[in-house]
Copies of this chain bind each other. A is one copy, B any other.
Amino acid sequence: MTGWIRIAGLGPGHPDLVTPEVSAALAQATDVVGYIPYVARIPARDGLTLHASDNRVEIDRSRHALQMAAEGRRVVVVSSGDPGVFAMAAAVYEAVESGPPEWRDLDISVLPGITAMLAAAARAGAPLGHDFCAINLSDNLKPWPLIEKRLRLAAEADFAMAFYNPRSKSRPRGFGRALDILRDACGPQRPILFARAVSTPGETLTVTTLGAATSDMADMRTVVLVGSSATRVIDRAGAPIVYTPRSVSQ
A residues adjacent to B (C-beta < 8 A) = 11, 14-21, 24, 58, 82-87, 89-94, 96-97, 104-105, 109-115, 118-119, 121-123, 125-136, 141-143, 146, 149-150, 153-154, 156-159, 232, 234, 236-237, 241, 243-248, 250
Check A126 against B246 for contact (C-beta < 8 Å): no
- Chain B CB count within 10 A is highest, among A85, A111, A113, A122, for A122
Chain B residue numbers with a CB within 8 Å of A89 are: 121-122, 125-126, 129, 243
Would you call A243 and B94 a contact (CB within 8 A)? yes
Does A104 contact B143, Cβ atoms closer than 8 Å?
A: no
B114 touches A236 (CB 8 A): no
Distance of A243 Cα from B86 Cα, bound (Å): 12
A246-B94 contact in complex given A118-B112, A157-B150, C-beta closer than 8 Å: yes
Whether the pair B153, A234 counts as a contact (CB closer than 8 A) is no
| Sample of 15 further A-B pairs with CB below 8 A, known A90-B246, A93-B129 | A20-B20, A84-B129, A86-B129, A86-B246, A90-B244, A93-B234, A109-B122, A112-B121, A114-B114, A131-B133, A131-B135, A131-B136, A133-B133, A133-B134, A133-B159
A17 touches B17 (CB 8 A): no
Specify the chain B residue showing the minimal Cβ separation from A113.
Answer: B114
Copies in the complex: 2
Most buried by B among A126, A146, A248: A126
- Complex CA gap A97/B153 in Å reads 30
Known: A19-B17, A20-B18. A153 touches B143 (CB 8 A): no
The residue that A118 contacts in the complex, of B85, B149, B234, with Cβ under 8 A, is B85
Q: Is the CB of A84 within 8 A of B136?
A: no
Contact between A250 and B118, CB atoms less than 8 A apart: no
Interface centre among A24, A132, A156 (most CB of B within 10 A): A132
Q: In the complex, A133→B1 CA distance in Å? A: 41
Question: In the bound complex, what is the Cα–Cα distance between A94 and B234 (angstroms)?
Answer: 10
CB distance from A110 to the nearest CB of B (A): 4
